[in-house]
Amino acid sequence: MKILFLGDVMGRSGRAAITTHLPRLRTEWRLDFVVVNGENATSGMGLSGEHAKLLFEAGADVVTLGDHAFDQKDMLAYIEKEPRIIRPINYSKAAPGVGARVFPAPGGRKVLVAQVLGQVFMKRPFDDPFSALDAVLRQYPMGGQVNASLIDIHCEATSEKMATGHFCDGRASIVVGTHTHVPTADAMILPGGTAYQSDAGMCGDYNSVIGMDKVEPLRRFITGMPKARFAPAAEEATLSGLYVETDDRTGKATRVEMVRQGGRLAQAGPA
Ligand SMILES: [Fe+2]
Ligand SMILES: [Fe+2]
C-alpha cells in the first residue's frame, strides 16, 4: 500500500498548501491512504470542523490531532460525529472521540491509525503512552486483521520518539513523530520492518519560528516580555511528511521516503 503522512498543518498557509498540492500528489504518487496531522490548522491552535472538512475534501483519509486537539471548542462536538478524526489515545479519560480506529482502504484493505502523546517536556502530564500503545497493537497486530498500521507519536523529545519507534518495531507499519514542526532527516525502516521518522515536520511557512510569524517569538526570546499574540506566518508553506510503501500481507514497510513539497525547504519526495 502507498501511504502518505503529512505533519502538523499550520494556519492558513498550511491549509493552502494542502489544497494546492494534495489532490495532485494523490494522483501522481497513486496514493492509497493519506493521514494528515491537523492540530494547528485553525489559526495555529487546534482544528475547527470547517477546516477539518477542507482537509478531507483535499484528500486526507484520516486527520490526527495532538495536545492542541480541543483548542477550537467546536471540535469537542465535531469529533463525535466525524469518525475520521483521531485524537491522542492518552489525552484524557474525559476527552470525546477516540485515539485509535481501523479505516477502510481501496480494495477492501484495512488501515489502523492511532495517535499517542509523549510525556517528556510536555506542558501537561499525560498517561503512560507505552501501555496505551501496547494495548492497541495487541488488539490489531501487524499481519493480522489490518493490512497496515500508522502510529503518530506526538511529543517534544526525539529520544522519546525513537524509543516509541523501537517499542513498535515489527508491530506497526509506520511510526512517525509530530509536534516539533521541524522535520528530522532520519527516515528509515527499522530492523523489524517499521518505517520511522522522528518528526515529519509541519505543513507551514518555514520562514518563521516553528510556523509562527517570527517577530513576536524573537521578541520573547530576546527580551522575555510578550507584547503581542502569536500568529501563523503567512508565506508559502512546505508540505512536509513521509511516504511509505507497505506489504499488504505482512504489514511491513518496503520503502520510505521523506516528503517536502513547495515553499522554502529543500524539496524531497518519492518521484
Ligand atoms: Fe503542532
Ligand atoms: Fe502539538
The residue-averaged pLDDT of 82-102 equals 97
Give the pLDDT score at 10: 98
pLDDT at 90: 97
Q: Which three cell numbers stand for residue 51?
A: 477546516
Q: What is the pLDDT of residues 160-181, one digit of tens each?
A: 999 999 999 999 999 999 999 9
Instruction: Please state, in angstroms and rounded to a whole number, the distance separating the CA atoms of residues 250 and 71.
Output: 38
The C-alpha atoms of residue 171 and residue 180 are separated, in whole angstroms, by 25
* Cα end-to-end distance, the chain, whole Å: 16
Distance in Å, CA 2 to ligand 2 centroid = 26
How far, in Å, is the centroid of ligand 1 from the Cα of 58? 20
Residue 24 φ then ψ, to 5° = -65, -45
Q: Ligand 2 center to residue 212 CA distance, Å? A: 13
Which member of 68, 154, 179, 181 is catalytic? 68
Mean per-residue pLDDT over the chain, rounded: 97
Summarize the confidence of residues 253-268 as an average pLDDT: 98
Q: Per-residue confidence at 194, pLDDT binned at 50, 70, 90?
A: very high
Ligand nearest to the CA of 88: 2
HEC readout, the chain = CEEEEECCECHHHHHHHHHHHHHHHHHHCCCCEEEEECCCCCCCCCCCHHHHHHHHHHCCCEEECCCCCCCCCCHHHHHHHCCCEECCCCCCCCCCCCCEEEEEEHHHEEEEEEEEECCCCCCCCCCCHHHHHHHHHHHCCECCCECEEEEEEECCCHHHHHHHHHHHECCECEEEEECCCCCCCCCEECCCCCEEECCCCCEECCCCECCECCHHHHHHHHHCCCCCCCCECCCCCEEEEEEEEECCCCCCEEEEEEEEECCCCCCECCC
CA dist., res. 172 & res. 116, Å (int): 13
Which numbered ligand comes closest to the C-alpha of 10? 1
What distance in angstroms lies between residue 114's CA and the mean position of ligand 2's atoms?
Answer: 15
| Rounded distance from Cα 250 to ligand 2 centre (Å) | 31
Determine whether 51 is an active site residue. no
- Statement: residue 74 has pLDDT above 90: yes
Mean pLDDT of 46-52: 98
C-alpha 181 – ligand 1 centre gap (Å): 6
Query: How would residue 196 be classed by pLDDT, with cut points 50, 70 and 90?
Result: very high
Distance of CA 129 from the midpoint of ligand 1 (Å):
18
Nearest ligand to residue 66 Cα: 2
Is the pLDDT at 124 greater than 90, yes or no? no
pLDDT above 90 (res 44): yes
Ligand approaching nearest to the C-alpha of 115: 2
Quickly state the pLDDT bin for 271 (edges 50, 70, 90): confident
Query: For 52-70, how does the pLDDT look when each residue is reduced to its tens digit (9 = 90+)?
Result: 999 999 999 999 999 999 9
